[in-house]
Amino acid sequence: MVLRELTALELGAAIKKGEVSIKEAAQAALDAVAVQDQALNAFITVTGERALDRAEKLQAGVKDAQSPLYGVPMAIKDNICTKGVKTSCASKILGDFAPPYDAAVVDRLAEAGALSLGKLNMDEFAMGSTSETSFYGPVKNPWDLDRVPGGSSGGAAAAVAAGMSWYAIGSDTGGSIRQPASYCGVTGMKPTYGAVSRYGLIAYASSLDQIGPLCRDAADCAAILDALQGKDPKDGTSLDGQYGNLLSGLTGDVRGMKIGLPVDCYGDGLDGEVKTAVLAVADVLKARGAEVVELSFPVMEYVVPTYYIIAAAEASSNLSRFDGVKYGWRAQEYEGLADLYRKTRTQGFGAEVKRRILLGAFVLSSGYYDAYYKKALQVKAVIKEAFDKAFQQCDLLLTPVAPATAPRLGESLSDPLKMYLSDVYTVSVNLAGLPGLSMPCGFDAKGLPIGAQLIGPHFGEGTLLNAAHAFQLDTDYHKRAPKGGDLA
């Protein structure tokens, strides 16, 4: 048994049966981190000792374990608060901040018997599509070390793809789970807005942020979501999805399911190899009895500007609390309060974060609010309507995740506008608060993974996961792994 080849559920079953101890699994993961992470830089903090201690404690309770994920090692994106463990958002400004509380998802995972290996690298404050804006240096793509893993949950995607962690918890504001999952060849999901509590997720754009899993396949995804989802009294925007047990709903039966192909998502700017691979997903599902319908989604040109106005506006407010007064990093020399604020924020934030704060402050400022922010909210409502209309004609939508496979390091930073435009397929899902899933559906000529996106209606997670599961029953893209040997 090669542990790194197992899915989280398979490892959970082996642990339950006593075929492998939790400590062995944890140690295997930590060994993989030790060998590979110098090159990949997927982790900001590795909590090895904690993990081994926890493994021993969990082992004692393995007989009574209820969760299929009991004892399975995992890792957490560094914008999710972990009590007593540094939580940096990959920013200099948070310094060695260790929150005195756990995020709600961390509590829920602990109840499910999860074992954390540490905290994962990301774009600073989740702002970026490449995981290059981290104060702790860029994350590399395990399939090609010269390429980015995507972002902002790049550390999460890389860790799962490289076999350093069986699954990871990330966050998705405009594609930050789905796009890196696509670039790294893993399965990732952004649940319906409100399905998972945001308490303890350090906010980027509160109305769009959502926590979700990155993992090996749709079944792992369902099991993790089962553990995470549900109304939380500490998050007023959380909701009860009432979709029962998602894992047990994975039948692979998609007969009669209507798959919608929005023609507007397959036009200019989409790489030919990506297009072919994504459309092939429709054929696989069709062979299993699904119907495929083409439909129009006539709002694509508005989604990126709308997203960047709303996300930046909320970010400018959410990130104001990092002022050097109460926690985190403070500028060394300053004169008076205004100078303390100015120097701390000037030196503590990276360029991309500052760009978005300035953009956000601008669109909210008096005289510009109506022209930008208010209008963006109106367009957001129009985008939502476009989805409602689409879901009158189909059960889920099939689109690309990104226009192309992973770019080279440094390519995107020089042209932020180009980077923003590459979010065109993912941001609309956040604007409408819908569930979106990214799964591997092929490789391009360079050997880089291609991802397909499935989008469901509000709380349509069950349908999404079942369709992805059906696809994965007939394909093995999700089982392929990068050659770890290259990394050592």
Partner 1 sequence: MTWETVIGLETHVELATKTKIFCSCTTQFGGDPNTHCCPVCTGMPGTLPVLNKKVLEFAVKAGLALNCDITRYSKFDRKNYFYPDLPKAYQISQLYLPIARNGAVSIHTDAGDKTIRIHELHMEEDAGKLVHDPWIDQTRADYNRCGVPLIEIVTEPDFRTADEVIAYLEKLKETLQYLGVSDCKMQEGSLRCDVNLSVRPVGAEELGTRTEMKNLNSFKAIVRAIDYEAKRQIELIGEGRRVVQETRRWDENKDATYAMRSKENAQDYRYFPEPDIPPIELSQAYLDGLRSAQPELAEEKRARYRRGYGLPEYDCRMITSDSALARFFEELVELGAPPKQGANWIMGEVLGALSARALEPRDMKLTAPTLARLIALVGEGKLNRNTAVKVFEAIFDTDVDVDAYVKEHGLEQVNDDGLVREICARVLEANPQSVADYRGGKEKAFGFLVGQVMRELKGRANPQSVNAVLRELLGG
Would residue 316 show up in a list of annotated catalytic residues for this protein? no
Q: Which is nearer to partner 1, 7 or 318 (CB)?
A: 318
Verify binding: residue 233, partner 1, rule CB under 8 A: yes
Tokens 């319908």 sit at which residue?
293
Which of 24, 235, 271, 291 is close enough to bind partner 1 by CB under 8 A?
Answer: 235
Verify binding: residue 364, partner 1, rule CB under 8 A: yes
Verify binding: residue 341, partner 1, rule CB under 8 A: yes
Q: Which position among 91, 152, 165, 197 bears the catalytic label?
A: 152
Q: Which is nearer to partner 1, 203 or 452 (CB)?
A: 203
Which of 17, 255, 326, 483 is close enough to bind partner 1 by CB under 8 A?
Answer: 326
Number of H helices, E strands in the chain: 15, 11
| In the complex, minimum distance from the CB of residue 330 to partner 1, in angstroms, rounded to a whole number | 12
Tokens 């599961």 sit at which residue?
469
Query: What is the spatial distance between Cα 216 and Cα 277, in angstroms, rounded to a whole number?
Result: 19
Q: Which position among 88, 153, 171, 176 bears the catalytic label?
A: 176
Would residue 182 show up in a list of annotated catalytic residues for this protein? no
Q: Per CB under 8 A, which region of 115-123, 198-206, 253-261, 284-292 contacts partner 1? A: 198-206
Q: Per CB under 8 A, which region of 95-103, 220-228, 258-266, 430-438 contacts partner 1? A: 95-103
Answer for the pair 186, 215: CB distance below 8 angstroms, yes or no.
yes
Which of 142, 174, 200, 213 is close enough to bind partner 1 by CB under 8 A?
Answer: 200
Query: What is the spatial distance between Cα 276 and Cα 451, in angstroms, rounded to a whole number?
Result: 11
Which of 266, 302, 369, 420 is close enough to bind partner 1 by CB under 8 A?
Answer: 369
Torsion angle, alpha carbons of 341, 346, 350, 351, to 10: 130
Q: Which is nearer to partner 1, 123 or 314 (CB)?
A: 314
Burial class of 283 by CB neighbour count within 10 A (0 to 12, 13 to 18, 19+)? exposed
- Residues 22-61: x where in contact with partner 1 by CB under 8 A, - otherwise, as a string: ----------------------------------------
Report which residue type is found at 447. G
Query: What is the spatial distance between Cα 434 and Cα 464, in angstroms, rounded to a whole number?
Result: 11
Q: Per CB under 8 A, which region of 184-192, 242-250, 323-331, 409-417 contacts partner 1? A: 323-331
Residue 426 parent element (H or E): none
Beta pairing, strands 291-295 & 258-262: parallel
| In the complex, minimum distance from the CB of residue 40 to partner 1, in angstroms, rounded to a whole number | 26
| In the complex, minimum distance from the CB of residue 328 to partner 1, in angstroms, rounded to a whole number | 8
Tokens 């890196």 sit at which residue?
180
Would residue 77 show up in a list of annotated catalytic residues for this protein? yes
Residue 430 parent element (H or E): helix 427-431
Residue 223 parent element (H or E): helix 218-228
Verify binding: residue 316, partner 1, rule CB under 8 A: yes
Query: What is the spatial distance between Cα 221 and Cα 213, in angstroms, rounded to a whole number?
Result: 6
Residues 263-302 interacting with partner 1 (rule: CB under 8 A): none
Residue 224 parent element (H or E): helix 218-228
Verify binding: residue 323, partner 1, rule CB under 8 A: yes
Which of 21, 27, 67, 206 is close enough to bind partner 1 by CB under 8 A?
Answer: 206
Q: Per CB under 8 A, which region of 111-119, 136-144, 205-213, 476-484 contacts partner 1? A: 205-213
Verify binding: residue 333, partner 1, rule CB under 8 A: no
Radius of gyration of the chain (CA): 21
| In the complex, minimum distance from the CB of residue 102 to partner 1, in angstroms, rounded to a whole number | 10
Q: Which token pair is 334?
A: 């300053």
Q: Which token pair is 155?
A: 């550390």
Answer for the pair 326, 335: CB distance below 8 angstroms, yes or no.
no
Report which residue type is found at 261. L
> Which residues are marked as active site?
77, 152, 176
Residues in contact with partner 1 by the rule CB under 8 A: 79-81, 87, 89, 94, 97, 99-101, 103, 198-203, 205-207, 233-237, 313-314, 316-317, 320-323, 325-327, 337, 341, 361, 364-366, 369, 373
